[in-house]
Amino acid sequence: MENVDLHCHSRASDGLLAPAEIVLRAQGLGVTMLALTDHDDTSGLEEAMQAAQEARIRFVPGVEISVTWNGTTVHIVGLGIDPEDRSLAQGLKWVRGGRTRRAASIADGLTAAGIPGSLEGAMTYVQNPDLISRTHFARFLVKSGYARDVGSVFRSYLVSGKPGYIPHQWAGLGDALKWIRSAGGIAVLAHPARYKFTREELRRFLAEFSDHGGRGIEVMTPNHTPQECATYAELAREFGMLASRGSDFHGPGESRVELGALPQLPEAVNPVWKAL
Ligand code: AMP
Ligand code: MN
Ligand code: MN
Ligand code: MN
C-alpha cells in the first residue's frame, strides 16, 4: 500500500526536526514517498535527498511559497522542483528578505503590547537565519509564559488584529507559479479550507491559479472534515486538477497529524504523485 505525504517542514523553515530526521521518521512510519516543503526555502533538500537515498524512500524536492492574492495570504506548494533553478532561487531569496523585515515589525508590535525582547527570543528558535516565521515567535511566547501552547498564542497575539500581526505583501500568484514552472515543478494549492474564501472567491482563485499553470489541490490535509474533503475533491475534478495529500507536519508534540497519518485520497481523484 502506497503511503504518500507531500507536505511537511524541517528546521530549514519552521519545523522542529532536521531534514534527515524528517526522512527517517517518515520511513519508520511507513511513508513510501515524501516531499519536504519548507516555507520559502530549499536549503534542507540536499540533506533530505541524501537521507532518503540511504533509507530507500522515494523523495520529492518541494517548497511552500507564501503568496498574497487579493489581500489574502495563500500558500502554494511546488513539487518536484529543481532547487538550483535561478528564477526560483532568486524569487525565494526575495520572499525571505521580506520575512526578515517583517520580523522586526512583529517585534515592535509585541514591544508596544508590553512584550520586550521577542526578536532575540524568536531567534533562539531559528535554525536558518534567513527564514524567520511567526512560529518562532509563537515558541518564544509560549516558553515565556504568555500562552499555553502554540495554537492559543496565535489566536491571542499573531493573527490579524493582534499586536504581533503585521500585514505583509508576499509573492504575487503569477510570480510564484512562474518560479515553480521554471524549476520544473508542479504547483499545488495548500490547505484550501484555511483561507476562509467564499465560494465565489475560491472559484475565482482556482480559475486564476489554473490560468497561471497551477495543477493541483490538497484534498487531504489536516483539519479537513470529510465534507470538505469531498468538496475539494469535486473542485479538483471540475477544474481538471490533480489531488494531493500532505500532513503539514512541523514536529512531534506540536503537530496533531503525524507524517503519513492522514486518510487516503478518495477514489474519484487523480493523485498528483502519478505526475511526479
Ligand atoms: P508565517 O509564514 O511566518 O506567517 O507563519 C505561518 C506559519 O505559522 C504556518 O506555516 C504554521 O506553521 C504556523 N501557524 C499559522 N497559524 C497557526 C495556528 N493557528 N496555530 C499554530 N500554528 C499556526
Ligand atoms: Mn509553518
Ligand atoms: Mn501553509
Ligand atoms: Mn506547511
The bridge status of strand 216-220 relative to strand 242-245 is parallel
The bridge status of strand 33-36 relative to strand 72-79 is unpaired
Looking at the predicted structure, is the pLDDT value of residue 223 above 90? no
State whether the beta carbon of 133 lies less than 6 angstroms from ligand 1. Answer: yes
* Residue 134 alpha carbon, nearest atom of ligand 1: 3
Q: Do domains 4-92+169-275 and 96-158 have the same CATH topology?
A: no
Pocket probe for ligand 1: among 118, 133, 169, the residue whose CB has the most ligand atoms within 8 Å is 133
Domain boundaries in the chain? Answer: 4-92+169-275, 96-158
Give 17-75 pLDDT, tens digit per residue.
Answer: 999 999 999 999 999 999 999 999 999 999 999 999 999 999 999 999 999 999 999 99
Looking at all shown ligands, the one closest to residue 190's CA atom is: 3
Average pLDDT of 224-236?
A: 96
Give 145-161 pLDDT, tens digit per residue.
Answer: 999 999 999 999 999 99
State whether the beta carbon of 134 lies less than 6 angstroms from ligand 1. Answer: yes
Looking at the predicted structure, is the pLDDT value of residue 137 above 90? yes
Host H or E run for residue 72? strand 72-79
Average pLDDT of 73-81?
A: 99
Provide the grid cell at 232.
475539494
Q: Which of 183, 261, 174 is nearest to 214 (CA)?
A: 174
Q: Whose CA is closest to atom 6 on ligand 1?
A: 134
Give 157-209 pLDDT, tens digit per residue.
Answer: 999 999 999 999 999 999 999 999 999 999 999 999 999 999 999 999 999 99
Name 53's Cβ contacts closer than 8 Å, sequence gap at least 6: 59
Query: Domain 96-158 belongs to what topology?
Result: DNA polymerase; domain 1 (1.10.150)
Looking at the predicted structure, is the pLDDT value of residue 110 above 90? yes
Domain at 4-92+169-275, CATH homologous superfamily? Metal-dependent hydrolases (3.20.20.140)
CA dist., res. 230 & res. 224, Å (int): 9
State whether the beta carbon of 40 lies less than 6 angstroms from ligand 1. Answer: no
Looking at the predicted structure, is the pLDDT value of residue 1 above 90? no
